[in-house]
Amino acid sequence: MPKVAYTEEDRQRIRSTLVSLALKRIAEQGVQHTTVGQIYKEAGISRTFFYSFFPTKEELVVEAIYCQQPRILAYARSLMEDPSLTWREGVEKFLYSCCYGEKNEIAILTPQDQKTLFRGMNFEGGCTFRKKQTKLFGDLLEIFGIKSNRERINLFTNISLLAMILRSATAESMPLLVPEAVDQTVSFQIQAILNELEKMRQQEPLCP
């Protein structure tokens, strides 16, 4: 006989499983190719039960993105604390891991993903998403030993996301892009980001 009653603990566990599965799928194949059906089937629950947790796919995606932020910060800290890496090597490894997120279970939103996601958000939800993103990139700067302010956070956000988005671009989303040179271009962008961060770090380092 199927189980018809779930404790709050059961629901929390299932919700956490759904978010983890969504994050893994999004990192591997992107938001567009990740379906609700894939998630609830892999979790072993019904479609109806899935929607009792997340009324829309977009809400699941947003929670998955929020869920990965602490993990991203922990990864950045581990690189900065690794005695075998110089500062530049640690930040470089972090940026490469994000740009090649599918190899490191880091979900990166393509331009199409972002448009789809924001279309499904209300004004308050969009503001919350941007605030959390700003905090994430500000925290990363601090972890990298760089004093953060609004101008630096905005610049770091844009130049980092541009490199990640370029890496995840497709012929359909950016038809004039030369795919054969994408990896080389991403490498160039990462070195430019590192140079800019190094300059920030030298200008106004954080107190130890």
The per-residue pLDDT for range 109-159, each reduced to its tens digit, is 888 888 888 887 888 988 999 999 999 999 999 999 999 999 999 999 999
Residue 199 lies in a domain: yes
Residue 120 lies in a domain: yes
Q: How far apart are CA 98 and CA 110, in angstroms?
A: 13
| CATH of residue 71 | 1.10.357.10
Q: Which residues of 157-185 are buried (b: 16+ CB within 10 A; e: fewer)?
A: bebbbebbbebbbeeeeeeeeeeeebeee
Contact 133, 67 (CB under 8 A): no
Tell me the backbone φ, ψ of residue 45, rounded to 5 degrees. Answer: -125, 170
Tell me the backbone φ, ψ of residue 205, rounded to 5 degrees. Answer: -70, 155
Residue 39 lies in a domain: yes
Q: How many domains is the chain partitioned into structurally? A: 1
Report the predicted TM-score, pTM, of the whole model to 2 decimal places.
Answer: 0.88
Residue 208 lies in a domain: no
pLDDT greater than 60 at residue 1: no
Residue 51 lies in a domain: yes
pLDDT greater than 90 at residue 195: yes
Residue 1 lies in a domain: no
Domain residues for the domain of 65 are 8-203
Residue 44 lies in a domain: yes
Q: What is the mean pLDDT of residues 165-189?
A: 83
Residue 180 lies in a domain: yes
pLDDT at position 111: 80
Q: What is the mean pLDDT of residues 167-178?
A: 74
For the chain, report the end-to-end CA distance as a whole number of angstroms: 61
